[in-house]
Amino acid sequence: MTASALLRRWRRPALAPLLAALVLAGCATAPAPDLSAVPAAPAAFKSTLPAEGRWAVVAPADAAERGAWWAVFQDPVLDDLVARALASNTDLQVAAARLQQARAGLNEADARRRPQLGASAGVSRATDPGVTTVPASLGTAGLDLAWELDVFGRLSLSSRAQALDAQASEALLQSTRLMVQAQVAQSYFALRASDAERRLVRATVAAYRDTLRLSERRQAAGDLGELEVQRLRSEVAGTEADALALDRQRAAQENALAVLLGESASGFRLPEAGDSAWTARPPAVPAGLPSAMLARRPDVAAAQRSLMAAQARLGVAQSAWLPDLTLTASGGHASTDLGDVFRWSARAWSVGTLLSLPIFDGGRRQAQEDRAAAEAQVALASYRQQVLTALREVEDQLSGLGLLQQQADALAQAVQSAGRATALSDTRYRNGMVSQLDLLDARRSELRSLRQAVQVQGAQLQGAVALIRALGGGWEGA
């Protein structure tokens, strides 16, 4: 039977708007998002790395624990730093507070769907022209009950939007936790690389100073000219300047790490590691499938839930065109004599139904619907961008780690050759076959190769951490 037939059969015209609204109730559902613009997950990443048996894959779910993936580096100092960051990092505290805020919003939305009970009491004094011109007092006390019936699904859609917001906040908390873990690990490896580089430069400065003292004695004996001595002094001063620059860099890295731990930079100090402490090697991280990565990454899940929440709010805005139906009831006492307010004879009660439907609002409801539709489009574009960013980040790290490994192999050969060249130059210099400048050039080349090797090693460790983060965590050391 059509809606018009139902309206014709209804004999009470006063209830016709209510019946029409009931017929239109099916329009108050949230529209499904158009996901055709979201790129599909490719079958595989175009860049790959060799896998190894040091990892166990956790089920790809954004709500799953990320696992203690940093334990694969087998560094107790790193383990302690990550634990301290998880306990005191301010970004994590903000994300946790926002999750509580979203959950409170969900509780508020659910409360609107339940009956509302309140107490009221009051005293008024007025005249009734139809009865007497003498002012009279009226005292009231009672309970008021109101319950908005969710006939058209507006309240349920609002609750669903808040629930999705809470889920998005929970996913963002997971994403923030993974971000903090990764930033602590990357900052720690960068600082350790600076320590190794500083040791190299300080050792070079000490060797140059020894050579300078020997050269100054030879100059005093007349065996060496002033030009060679001045060039050596310049080399020593330049290398000392490099050492001071590395000290400044290390101090900044240490202060940044303190902020990540939620501690004061003034009271934080990480002792320099010895020569034996720089033994960490980047693990081979299996990339897996892009679809599993997208399911695992909490930031992608947060963007998806934000899109669904925006679509639910669009349904709420569309339901504003439908009427609101509210049941009301009140009971209590009312009397013109304040002393008789609570007598049984002064009892009063009322039961009612309120149906409200705005007719003209100056375009407010249409504007709200347009805004909700625009917000849904923004959420869809953000979700698409998050998917594209996730795929790009994994590809960047995979290709970067592959190239870094090739660079590390080339630098290993360069370090070996430079060390051999320095040894030969030192022997020839002592035998008077080459000048001191030739020896300095050989040492300078060896130092450059060693520093580059240390920098690449640090970049490999940081890249491995970045790849784990780009894959959404979900790994545990096997």
Query: What pLDDT is attached to residue 62?
Result: 66
Highest-pLDDT range among 9-13, 274-278, 405-409: 405-409
Q: How far is it, in rounded angstroms, from Cα 238 to Cα 174?
A: 47
pLDDT-derived band at 370, boundaries 50, 70, 90:
very high
Q: What is the pLDDT of residues 130-153, one digit of tens each?
A: 656 667 666 677 788 888 887 788
Closest CA to 463 of 186, 180, 170: 186
Query: What pLDDT is attached to residue 261?
Result: 94
- For 150-192, the DSSP string reads -TTSHHHHHHHHHHHHHHHHHHHHHHHHHHHHHHHHHHHHHHH
Query: What pLDDT is attached to residue 442?
Result: 85
pLDDT-derived band at 380, boundaries 50, 70, 90:
very high
Q: Calculate the average pLDDT of the chain.
A: 81
- Residue length of the chain: 478
Least confident range from 117-121, 244-248, 393-397: namely 117-121
Query: What pLDDT is attached to residue 4?
Result: 42
**What would the mean pLDDT of 365-382 be, rounded to a whole number?**
91
**Model-wide pTM > 0.75:** yes
Q: 328 and 92 in contact (C-beta within 8 Å)?
A: no
Least confident range from 29-33, 54-58, 413-417: namely 54-58
pLDDT-derived band at 437, boundaries 50, 70, 90:
confident
Q: 54 and 68 in contact (C-beta within 8 Å)?
A: no
Q: What is the pLDDT of residues 288-318, one digit of tens each?
A: 778 888 888 899 989 999 999 999 999 888 8
pLDDT-derived band at 473, boundaries 50, 70, 90:
confident
CATH superfamily of 58-117+152-324+363-477: Outer membrane efflux proteins (OEP) (1.20.1600.10)
pLDDT-derived band at 9, boundaries 50, 70, 90:
very low
Closest CA to 239 of 453, 444, 414: 444
pLDDT-derived band at 3, boundaries 50, 70, 90:
very low
Query: What pLDDT is attached to residue 251?
Result: 94
pLDDT-derived band at 30, boundaries 50, 70, 90:
low
Q: What is the pLDDT of residues 47-105, one digit of tens each?
A: 777 655 554 444 556 666 667 888 888 889 999 999 999 999 999 999 999 999 998 99
Tell me the H-state helices in 10-89: 16-23, 76-88
Q: How far is it, in rounded angstroms, from Cα 367 to Cα 365?
A: 5
| SS3 at position 316 | helix
Q: How far is it, in rounded angstroms, from Cα 100 to Cα 477?
A: 32
Give the start-to-end residue ranges of the domains of the chain.
Answer: 58-117+152-324+363-477
Q: 474 and 60 in contact (C-beta within 8 Å)?
A: yes
Q: What is the pLDDT of residues 310-363, one digit of tens each?
A: 999 998 888 888 888 787 877 666 666 666 656 666 667 778 887 788 888 888
Highest-pLDDT range among 194-208, 252-266, 326-340: 252-266
CA 435 to chain centre: 58
